Structure 1
Amino acid sequence: MTRLTYDYAIEVLNDYLGPLQPMLADPDVQEIMVNRPDTVFVERQGAISRVAGCELDPDALDRAITILANVNAKEQTPLLDARLPGLRIAAARKPVAIHGDMMSIRKHARHRIGLADYEQSGAFEVLPASLSRTAGRNNPGLLARLPAGGTALREFFEWVMRERINVAFSGGTSSGKTTLLNAMIDCIPADDRVITIEDTAELQVHAPNYAGFETNLGLTIRDLVRFALRIRPDRIIVGEVRGAEAFDLMEALNTGHPGSIVSFHADSSGTAPARLESLIRMSDEGRLLSIDDLRQKIASTFRFLVHAERQGAVRGPVEIREVLGAENGRYQTRLLFSRFAPEELFHA
């Protein structure tokens, strides 16, 4: 990038993204998240907060995306991945971005951080196990109460969302998957950044820090999953997995985005892992995995399998299964809840 091009890009940021200038100049701001022209969040020293009163003109935001693409010699496509000195920019345009053009700006550290800086900041200190992010992920008492259903199921869904536990959600058409997904999303802590990806936007998300995407203009679910990883997601919710994107999701959920949900069609919680296998193998990368490695990955990615069905006028969860691991090429699971549970399940 020539100096003239760089100066022009900075001028673009000043002219079209003027309301963001205080955040771009603030050395403590790490990420600027424009979820839509009238909704801006920042990450400052690791904490995310909404920027009250900060709004961008929709036409100015669209123009900025166009010019930044030109500066980076990128095509004018619905998704943009661009860079400027000290900045990494990812943007999406409407209608792919459901609520209007959006942009995420990642600021690189201005000063190189040395080992002594880590030590001084306390990053090398040993903390009590109770402060671990995974400290609350074991709840045998709650799981033991699941066979009886009722309140225990509500507490279960609240718990898996609060403790960031991955869930694979299966069911057929009109089984109530979307309705239950909406209810589960409502349990996500308010300070988490939620990204949803759907073929047709149906999810109703009330999370404060939220950006939603819909396949359009030739873009696939897989394209949007890969894009989502560039805009600082805490949770990725995919309305329905149908193909090769299952591999990207599995990789994403294994590398720093726990507490996410994937939804797909299957006949039961027992057949759901095999269905996931077939979806993952639709990708070139998935076909390279041995069956043992693939099953180990699935077992380490998804702890719970929830299956929904329609039974008369009632739609909702009919099975919850815990994935304990995979040994000798076979999944180790246990059924925790069934609406038609045999008597022995209550004594398991």
Structure 2
Amino acid sequence: MSLLARLGRPNAENRQVMIFASYGSTEQVSEERSLQKLKLKIHRRIVESMTPEEQHALATAKHENTDQVDAIISRYFERVLANDPFAVPLGERAHIVAEIRDEMLGLGPIEPLLKDDSITEIMINGPQHIFVERLGKLQLTDVRFHDDAHLMHIIERILTPIGRRIDESSPLVDARLEDGSRVNVIIPPLALLGPCVTIRKFSKKPFSVENLIAFGTLDEKMAIFLRACVKARINILVSGGTGSGKTTSLNVLSSFIPNDERIVTIEDAAELRLQQDHVVTLESRPANLEGKGAITIRDLVRNALRMRPDRIIVGEVRGGEALDMLQAMNTGHDGSLTTAHANSPRDALSRLETMVLMSGLDLPVRAIREQVSSAIDLVVQQSRIRDGSRKITYITEVQHMEGNTITTQDIFRYQQTGLDEDGKAVGHFDCTGLQPTFLEKFRQNGIELPEGFFESQHFAQEVRF
């Protein structure tokens, strides 16, 4: 068992033990610092002495073809060692060359973490403490930055290509990497222990519904039902907490949209990867240095209505744009999809009410609830289970108003029965036996579910639409 596993969840006391374990003995720390000085010396020599040909080679280098860059770095490595002999093991030389290459072409110390497909999230809590999420579990890594200045240099490298800025007057920012990974940065004075960076990695290959079934996020019967709902133009809200997999599920649901429809996607940071031919991708924009020029999600939702969309997909509603989204769903844009942060389907509807009030319009609560109940047909509730897995815990129909209350009914739900000896969640997906009231939409769109679909607990028949 690893030291991290034995120590359990880090607290203020045992974190020091883990940091010491990652650094090793005093001799190891001294050797590491000497190697660090050597790397900095090689890096400076390259920057100061590069020929025009070498500059061109570095400027045009790609991550997948770095042999020429490695050769340039190796030449300068030998020149530095010739003037300043330092005993570097042969195996360590290749490692140092790779680290210098990552500094020059990539994002420095975290470049190997970005390339590791088993890592889904990278959390940088200051220059010395970098955690990752791997297979749903948080782990402390031995990756470190030299100091705050080194970390800020990498942050600037992330933000500069997309025209974002960060400084004391604007100390937090959302951005994305070239591959689409989502980045949040917050720096002092708001972050007291140094710059903090959170990277939600973007999978190279979008997950399919078959992947989600294999992961245990849902079962085949739920997948068939959700595919039918998307094709029947049911308005769907995907609800869940942070890191519960809402965007992944939204991506999968979007894949069910027919290829001949015009889709407009609206996001703060573009993450959705739709494979259809007719997709328009819109992204919000923050204010410039003068505090002007911001384009909000709400602005984009309003503009999307003038773009003749068949479907509108909003990556996440979190403010007044909820009212515009509901009005779009209520005025002929059936089959729209969005996500929101909430812990249950009922909470999701309450959150929508709150967000509509943020629009600035003084609407009665009953009028808002009528808008919600008539616009949203289905809530797909996603949760992150204690073992790190993601599950669709409820598929809930939003029905109608009874008095001042929105009525709902669960169509499917996940029942957890316990944990196995490895700490993995044990449970099963249940069909409640209740039929949604919007089945008429299925028939209008030529979609037929097998007879008894909502009755059988065990369903293995393959259905194609």
Q: Return the offset for 1:344.
A: 9.9
Distance, in Å, in 2 between the alignment partners of 1:233 and 1:341 is 40
One-letter code aligned to 1:299: S
Q: Return the offset for 1:231.
A: 1.0
1:335 maps to 410
Distance, in Å, in 2 between the alignment partners of 1:300 and 1:168 is 13
2:235 maps to 166
Distance, in Å, in 2 between the alignment partners of 1:341 and 1:291 is 35
Matched, 1:292 2:361: no
Matched, 1:315 2:390: yes
CA radius of gyration, larger in: 2
User: Residue 264 of structure 2 is aligned with which of 168, 187, 195?
Assistant: 195
2:300 maps to 224
Q: Return the offset for 1:263.
A: 0.7
Does the residue aligned with 1:157 lie in a helix, a strand or coil? helix
Matched, 1:182 2:251: yes
Distance, in Å, in 1 between the alignment partners of 2:430 and 2:257 is 34
State the TM-score, normalized to the length of structure 2: 0.41
Does the residue aligned with 1:317 lie in a helix, a strand or coil? strand
Q: Deviations over 1:163-187 (max 9, x none)?
A: 1010111111110111111111110
Q: Return the offset for 1:347.
A: 5.8
Identity %: 40
User: Residue 233 of structure 1 is aligned with which of 302, 309, 327?
Assistant: 309
2:106 maps to none
2:343 maps to 267
One-letter code aligned to 1:325: H
Does the residue aligned with 2:331 lie in a helix, a strand or coil? coil
2:275 maps to 206
Contact 2:412/2:432 (<8 A) preserved: no
2:8 maps to none
Distance, in Å, in 1 between the alignment partners of 2:407 and 2:257 is 28
Structure 2, unaligned runs of 5 or more: 1-174, 179-217, 287-293, 418-428, 435-465
Contact 1:169/1:264 (<8 A) preserved: yes
Does the residue aligned with 1:263 lie in a helix, a strand or coil? strand
Q: 1:344 to 1:163 in 2, by over 3 A?
A: closer
Structure 1, unaligned runs of 5 or more: 1-94, 99-148
User: Residue 400 of structure 2 is aligned with which of 316, 325, 331?
Assistant: 325
User: Residue 254 of structure 1 is aligned with which of 322, 330, 333?
Assistant: 330
User: Residue 302 of structure 1 is aligned with which of 376, 386, 398?
Assistant: 376
2:447 maps to none
Q: 1:341 to 1:333 in 2, by over 3 A?
A: farther
- After TM superposition, which residue ranges in structure 1, 4 or more long, deviate above 2 angstroms? 341-348
Does the residue aligned with 1:233 lie in a helix, a strand or coil? coil
Alignment of 1:123-138 (within 5 A): none
Distance, in Å, in 2 between the alignment partners of 1:240 and 1:344 is 28
Aligned residues: 200
Q: Deviations over 1:173-218 (max 9, x none)?
A: 1101111111111100111111111111111111110010111151
1:69 maps to none
Alignment of 1:41-190 (within 5 A): 150-190=219-259
Q: Return the offset for 1:314.
A: 2.1
Does the residue aligned with 1:339 lie in a helix, a strand or coil? strand
Matched, 1:244 2:320: yes
Distance, in Å, in 2 between the alignment partners of 1:171 and 1:307 is 6
Q: Higher relative contact order by CA 8 Å / sep ≥ 6: 1 or 2?
A: 1
Q: Return the offset for 1:151.
A: 1.8
Does the residue aligned with 1:182 lie in a helix, a strand or coil? helix
1:144 maps to none
2:210 maps to none
Distance, in Å, in 2 between the alignment partners of 1:310 and 1:344 is 18
Distance, in Å, in 1 between the alignment partners of 2:430 and 2:230 is 29
Distance, in Å, in 1 between the alignment partners of 2:299 and 2:350 is 24
One-letter code aligned to 1:294: I
One-letter code aligned to 2:312: I
Q: 1:347 to 1:234 in 2, by over 3 A?
A: closer
Distance, in Å, in 1 between the alignment partners of 2:389 and 2:323 is 33
